[in-house]
Amino acid sequence: MKDIVSKLIKYGIPIAISVGLAWFLYKNVDLEAIKTSLRQDVNYWWFVPVIVVSVLSHVFRALRWRLQLRAIDIHAPLWVLINSIFGTYFVNLVFPRLGEVWRTGYIAQRQNAPFATVLGSMVGDRLSDTVTVLLLTVVTFFLAQDKFRMFFAASGKGDDAASWTMWVLVAAAVLGMAALVWLYRSTSQNKLIARMRDILHDLWDGFAAIAHMQGKWMFLLYTLLIWGCYFMQLYIASKAFSFTADLGVLPVLVLFVLSSIGMAVPSNGGLGPWQFAIIFGLSLYDVGAFPPGTPYDAQASAFAWLVWGVQQLLIIVLGIYTFARIALDRKKN
């Protein structure tokens, strides 16, 4: 019974989030209008460079992870690491958050390395992404604060709500950091606290190792390239639609940060939270409305579904290639 409940929580909650948000977003949207927009408002040739840049982002991620693995004396071939990244996103599409566990196990098994050691490098990899998203979020919300104030004013909440929300976020960040510092330094013998403290120590060790490894400046460069590619995917995709072609850099940056935050919500491939974030971001720049309920929402919905769909189709193709390549590699060896 305990295993059944655990699996329901692990797999049922992401599916429920995806289905629930998708229903909320599209219960009042005209699907025929979305189809019309997809036929009339899109230049699909723009998605060719989107796909190229997407693949490059995976290659840069593999190159960055190779630096971390070399620092712990694990020398995996680059093509193996690239396949592990392709496979990670494919597994996450079916089983949210298990892709990282899969790639850790794959590399540990293939390179005959300790699972915990490889896991530490993967944790450092993901933590660096978390720090990047936090920095981007702070910068973007500062640059686009006028748009968020306008949203609150239009919703009848005014500047007080915007200021209150900002202070709540700041207070939550400060309290969160204080809690983490307390937990890290805690000497409590409570089993739950001790377990959480051990996990936090492992996470910090995996992240701190980046500062001491050889090639840390290349690590920083690859991080910039990875997130630069992520941004460029969305920026190029915005050029494909007649109603977003002139948005500019800052609006796309707002969409990018909001969608990155949305991807942190456990769901299958970001289904639901990603579209929710994109539609909200587009509404700030007068494309559609939030929550949906006007005739213009078809365009925002078409944008959200097509951009997301292209990415998921690419992940599926790369995943099929990856597992076929892994099977051939195992057979050869």
Q: What is the pLDDT of residues 140-182, one digit of tens each?
A: 888 888 877 776 666 555 555 555 655 666 676 677 777 767 7
Structural domain contains residue 20: no
pLDDT confidence tier of residue 56, bands split at 50, 70 and 90: very high
pLDDT of residue 276: 84
- Cα–Cα distance between 117 and 101 in angstroms, integer? 12
Closest CA to 116 of 10, 19, 202, 186: 202
Can you give the pTM of this predicted structure? 0.81
Read off the pLDDT band of 283 (50, 70, 90). confident
DSSP 21-89: HHHHHHTTS-HHHHHHHHHHSB-GGGHHHHHHHHHHHHHHHHHHHHHHHHHTT----HHHHHHHHHHHH
Q: Is residue 4 part of a domain?
A: no
Measured in whole angstroms, the distance separating CA 9 from the mean position of its chain's CA atoms is: 21
List, for residues 257-274, the tens digit of each pLDDT value: 999 988 877 777 777 788
Taking 90 as the threshold, does the pLDDT of residue 254 lie above it?
yes
Rounded CA-CA distance 157/211 in Å is 44
Does residue 115 sit within a domain?
A: yes
Check pLDDT > 90 for residue 98.
Answer: no
ω into 96 cis (within 30 of 0): no
Q: What is the rounded distance in angstroms from the CA atom of residue 303 to the CA atom of residue 241?
A: 7
DSSP H stretches of helix in the chain:
2-7, 13-26, 31-40, 47-71, 78-94, 99-110, 115-143, 145-154, 158-185, 191-212, 216-239, 249-263, 273-284, 297-332
CA distance 245 to 176: 39
**CA-CA-CA-CA dihedral for 105, 98, 128, 69, to nearest 10:** 10
Cβ atoms within 10 Å, residue 329:
14
In a domain, 254, yes or no: yes
Higher-confidence residue of 256 and 264: namely 256
> Is residue 177 assigned to a domain?
yes
pLDDT-above-70 percentage for the chain: 76
Residue 277 pLDDT grade (very low, low, confident, very high; cuts 50, 70, 90): confident
- Residue 221 has a pLDDT of 94
Give the Cα-Cα-Cα angle 257, 43, 306 (nearest 5 degrees).
Answer: 45
Domain for residue 70, yes or no?
yes
Integer Cα distance of 126 and 207 in angstroms: 9
3-state secondary structure (DSSP) of residue 241: strand
The residue segments making up the domain with residue 185 are 28-332
Q: What are phi and psi of 42, to 5 degrees?
A: -120, 135
The single residue listed with the structure tokens 């919300």 is 141
For 75-93, what is each residue's pLDDT tens digit? 999 999 999 999 999 998 8
Instruction: Answer for the pair 304, 278: CB distance below 8 angstroms, yes or no.
Output: yes
Domain total for the chain? Answer: 1
Environment class of 110 (CB within 10 Å of its CB; exposed 0-12, middle 13-18, buried 19+): middle
pLDDT at 242 over 70: yes
Decide if 11 is inside a domain.
no
Q: 286-290 long-range contacts, Cβ below 8 Å, gap at least 24?
A: 287/243, 287/244
> What is the model's pLDDT at position 127?
82
User: Mapping DSSP to helix (H, G, I), strand (E, B) and coil, where does residue 16 land?
Assistant: helix
3 domain-assigned:
no
**Of 255, 294, 247, 296, the residue nearest 276 (C-alpha):** 255
Taking each helix axis as running N to C, give the angle between helix 78-94 and helix 47-71, from 0 to 180 degrees, rounded to the nearest 10. 110
pLDDT band at 255 (very low <50, low <70, confident <90, very high): very high
Range with top average pLDDT, 28-32, 79-83, 97-101, 161-165: 79-83
Q: Which of 327, 314, 246 is nearest to 285 (CA)?
A: 246
Which of 80-94, 124-138, 172-186, 299-313 shows the lowest per-residue confidence on average (mean pLDDT)?
A: 172-186
Residue 289 is predicted with a pLDDT of 67
Burial of 237 (0-12, 13-18, 19+ CB in 10 A): buried
Cα distances from 243 to residues 233, 247, 288, in angstroms, run 17, 8, 10
